[in-house]
Amino acid sequence: MKALVDRGGGSLDALELSDMPVPEPEDNEIRIKVVQAGLNHRDLFIPHRNKGNKEPVIPGSDGAGIVDACGGDVEAFQPGDEVIINPGLGWEENTPAPPDSFHLLGYPGHGTFAEYVTVPAAHVELKPPHLSWEEAGVLSLAALTAFRALFTKGRLQSSDTVFIPGAGSGTAGFLIPFAKKTGAEVFTSSRSKEKRRRALALGADAAVDSSGNWQDELEGRQADLIIDAVGAATFQKSMDLLKKGGRMVIFGSSTGDTVDFHLRSFFYGQYELIGSTMGSHEEFHQMLAFVSKHNIRPGLDSTVPLEQIKEALQRLEDGLQFGKISITVSEEV
């Protein structure tokens, strides 16, 4: 089968399209013919993490497709079912933090940038009917992360004002509509004027320049809840925008892991700093019900064939995208 393969070269450039064996489903697994896959920031990290490993690895966490074969003891699915994959494996019930068994599809095991992938049946759901293949293929990782960060960890209330820096990110494309559907007021930021315009079209109430003075642009308005995955570049400005007693949830650090932190301001302000990551399968269910109920569809930046996936990864690396990049792997049959 056709697949994007990492052989430890250490960079996006070293990834190559190769012929790989079609995987066989083990007990409790299903084999899925991938129709569409989706890119995430995580995919950019895999070549660095896998550097020096000569064993071929197929990256890719997000995907939707058609059940092709079922391993032993699989009763919930049959060949021909149209499904969406939850790439957060080994985390079933909602818990305060993921169990040790938690790991993601698409490294170290093979992922969705291939014509076929095997996945535990317990982490697969029927494709929400309101989503196209392109939309279903990009939903899971970012939407699940956004759902847990906003609702489980962030405890979002309809009366809250939420600030989400980095409007162009794949996760912001879910955070903004999820928060708006809840009734919250939503502010966001972007380095790009065009992305700020698009964020307003997506429903944001205000969109400020990431490199500007947020307090001035927002005329002193502050946030009850901030979801910041940009990291070091925005951390302090986000903290400064938080109302006293407010909550900041962090699930990513695209621009760096390390920040200076002023403890006295933190405890006097009685802020809550909360870590989050992906979500359980229980939350995946809740997220699918939420997007179906509110008819939420992922914003697509672009759709490209698997043959052009390296260019698409470069677009993500360069931060040119607004919303999700969908990869066409197979024709639907």
Ligand X SMILES: NC(=O)c1ccc[n+]([C@@H]2O[C@H](COP(=O)([O-])OP(=O)(O)OC[C@H]3O[C@@H](n4cnc5c(N)ncnc54)[C@H](OP(=O)(O)O)[C@@H]3O)[C@@H](O)[C@H]2O)c1
Q: Name the residues that contact ligand X, by CB under 6 A.
A: 40-42, 141-142, 145, 166-171, 190-192, 195, 210, 229-230, 233-234, 251-255, 277-278, 316, 319
Minimum CB separation of residue 71 from ligand X in Å reads 27
Question: What is the bridge-based pairing of β-strands 161-165 and 223-227?
Answer: parallel
When the beta carbons of 65 and 173 are compared against ligand X, the nearer one is 173
When the beta carbons of 112 and 171 are compared against ligand X, the nearer one is 171
Q: Is the bond into 79 cis (omega within 30 degrees of 0)?
A: no
With beta carbons less than 8 A apart as the criterion, state whether 326 and 300 touch: yes
Distance of CA 55 to the CA centre of its chain: 26
When the beta carbons of 30 and 144 are compared against ligand X, the nearer one is 144
When the beta carbons of 214 and 251 are compared against ligand X, the nearer one is 251
Nearest-angstrom CA–CA distance, 173 and 63: 17
Minimum CB separation of residue 267 from ligand X in Å reads 26
Nearest-angstrom CA–CA distance, 88 and 141: 8
Instruction: Bin 312: left if φ > 0, else alpha if -120 < ψ < 50, else beta.
Output: alpha
When the beta carbons of 235 and 271 are compared against ligand X, the nearer one is 235
With beta carbons less than 8 A apart as the criterion, state whether 155 and 149 touch: no
Minimum CB separation of residue 57 from ligand X in Å reads 18
Which residue is closest to ligand X by CB? 252
Minimum CB separation of residue 19 from ligand X in Å reads 29
With beta carbons less than 8 A apart as the criterion, state whether 4 and 16 touch: yes
Minimum CB separation of residue 21 from ligand X in Å reads 30
